[in-house]
Amino acid sequence: MKRLNSQLQQDGAQLELILLIRTLLAACKEISFRVSQGALAGVLGSTLSENVQGETQKKLDVISNQIIKDTLCESGYVKAMSSEEEEHVVPCDPDGKYLVSFDPLDGSSNTEINSLIGTIFSIFHAPQWMEPGDPSAFVQPGTQMVAAAYVLYGPSTMLAMTTGRGTHLYTLDKTHGGFLLTQANIQLPQQTAEYAINASNQRHWDTPMQRYVSELVAGKEGPRKKDYNMRWVAAMVGDIHRVLCRGGIFMYPADKRNPEQTGKLRLLYEANPMAFLIEQAGGKASTGERRIMEVVPTDIHQRVPVIMGSSEEVDYCLSCYEETKA
Ligand SMILES: O=P(O)(O)OC[C@H]1O[C@](O)(COP(=O)(O)O)[C@@H](O)[C@@H]1O
Ligand SMILES: [Mg+2]
Ligand SMILES: [Mg+2]
């Protein structure tokens, strides 16, 4: 089976980018080990602190963030990084060529139930003019990403990665510690009968999303004339993995309860990297108004509504938004 290195070389990745990716994945392997030890390593449960998002941090959020931060700062490849768990940009090496944004542990409420969690990251070129602590270099649209990936800590530890030449799936071979290519060039089916949304928020969604989901729920008897199935892992990394593996549509719309907060998911740490992976697999990713990867962030912790997955289903959902505008 092909190793990650060979696939990255085949996809034309520069040596320094390959070395950075390998460094990041070394951190993820350590997280994978800690996660698999669970209660034995005393890593489950919450801390007494909140992150900048106002969410109570789990012990594993803090541990994973620290592992990635230390590994990247020592690597010499990274000028600065931004993390869901850090209020400010973290300056690293002034000569580093790259910027990294990451969600160290996605779906952390799943830690207590031994369910799917993961790490999500994206890599950009660092502008030469940038001082390492300067947040303005992070406000690049997702179209500027040079790589995006997630590592899923499930029954197997899996990696989905793109450098802009397709999305490939790898599985961690724990016997020798390397990621081996298990599925090259994933292609999402354009159509699907499976959707993912937290339906308990239904009454707070915007009108187009209310209409779209009510049509799915109506099944064969409704305007879509087919039955749909619903799945919700409560970790974006798990839901997007399922969508990459067999198609589907994943949605986290804006919520009327908090008009200041445009959606729940973070553009830099969650929406952008997943959008790149989905698009490279032939899917689509939108906020309902525009392509996610074209959103120019105004803040490193910016949130966006998310609609992504199988292209024809995303298009149908977006047509509900278009009709509301008309
Ligand atoms: O509480 P809900 O509505 O099920 O939210 C689940 C969503 O929140 C998240 O867990 C947020 O991620 P974090 O665990 O990194 O904060 C997403 O992964 C997931 O899609
Ligand atoms: Mg997350
Ligand atoms: Mg997180």
**Segments making up each domain of the chain, as ranges:** 4-183, 194-325
Q: From the CA of 134, how far away is ligand 3's center (Å)?
A: 23
State the architecture of 4-183 in CATH terms.
Answer: 2-Layer Sandwich (3.30)
Ligand 1: residue whose CA is nearest its atom 20: 236
**pLDDT confidence band for 295 (50 / 70 / 90):** very high
Spatial separation of the C-alpha atoms in residues 307 and 284, rounded to whole Å: 8
Both structure tokens of 242: 């399922």
Ligand 1 geometric centre to CA of 266 (Å) = 10
Q: What is the pLDDT of residues 97-135, one digit of tens each?
A: 999 999 999 999 999 899 999 999 999 999 888 877 888
Tell me the C-alpha distance between 300 and 281, whole Å: 26
CA atoms lying within 13 Å on the CB side of residue 119:
32
ipTM for the assembly: 0.97
**84 in a known ligand binding site:** yes
Is the CB–ligand 1 distance for residue 116 below 6 Å? no
Q: Mean pLDDT over residues 91-100, rounded?
A: 95
> At 2, is the pLDDT very low, low, confident or very high (cuts 50, 70, 90)?
very high
The residue whose CA has the least distance to atom 4 of ligand 1 is: 234
pLDDT at residue number 261: 78
- Looking at residue 326, what is its pLDDT? 66
The reply to whether ligand 1 has any atom less than 6 angstroms from the CB of 115 is no
Task: Tell whether pTM > 0.90.
Answer: yes
Whole-number pLDDT of residue 313: 98
Residues 6 or more apart whose Cβ sits within 8 Å of residue 102? 68, 81, 82, 83, 84, 119, 120, 121, 122, 269
Using H for helix, E for strand and C for coil, what is the string for 129-155?
Answer: CCCCCCHHHHCCCHHHCCEEEEEEECC
- Positive or negative: CA dihedral 42, 46, 47, 50: positive
Distance 109 CA to ligand 1 centre (A): 8
Q: What confidence tens digit (pLDDT) does each residue in 7-37 have? A: 999 999 999 999 999 999 999 999 999 999 8
Pairwise CA distance, residues 99 & 21, whole Å: 12
Q: Which tokens in the block code for residue 6?
A: 């060979």
CATH number of 194-325: 3.40.190.80
